[in-house]
Amino acid sequence: MAVKVIIPTPLRPYAGKQESVEMEAGNVREALKGLTTRFGELKKHLYSDDGRLRSFVNVYVNDEDIRYLEKEETQLRDGDIVSIVPSIAGGTGK
């Protein structure tokens, strides 16, 4: 299935400065593997050393959080959009 993976601004320097990438993938795991195979530097920002998706990396398929679907096994259909959204923390200490 041809899907589009949206790459967030903070991760673009590790993905050839691209906003998105089109690729063939049957599920989210395949899409992320294809992305990290194409852009090796991206892998350490998405996955921990034990190969698990980092807890602060949120992934959505067509605006649906994969944590509430089938996680990385969430099936993809032709034309789906996979969005990577890193959690951002911060603020003032007031």
pLDDT at 88: 73
pLDDT at 80: 98
pLDDT at 93: 59
Per-residue pLDDT tens digits of the chain, which is 94 residues long: 799 999 999 999 999 999 999 999 999 999 999 999 999 999 999 999 999 999 999 999 999 999 999 999 999 999 999 999 988 765 565 6
Contact 66, 74 (CB under 8 A): yes
The pair of structure tokens assigned to 1 is: 């299935």
CA distance 84 to 46: 9
Quickly tell me which residue has 């259909």 as its tokens.
77
pLDDT at 87: 86
DSSP 54-67: PTTEEEEETTEEGG
Sign of CA dihedral 42, 44, 45, 46: positive
pLDDT at 89: 63
The pair of structure tokens assigned to 91 is: 């603020």
Render pLDDT for 35-59 as a digit per residue (tens, 0 to 9). 999 999 999 999 999 999 999 999 9
Domains of the chain: 2-86 (3.10.20.30)
Q: What is the pTM of this model?
A: 0.89
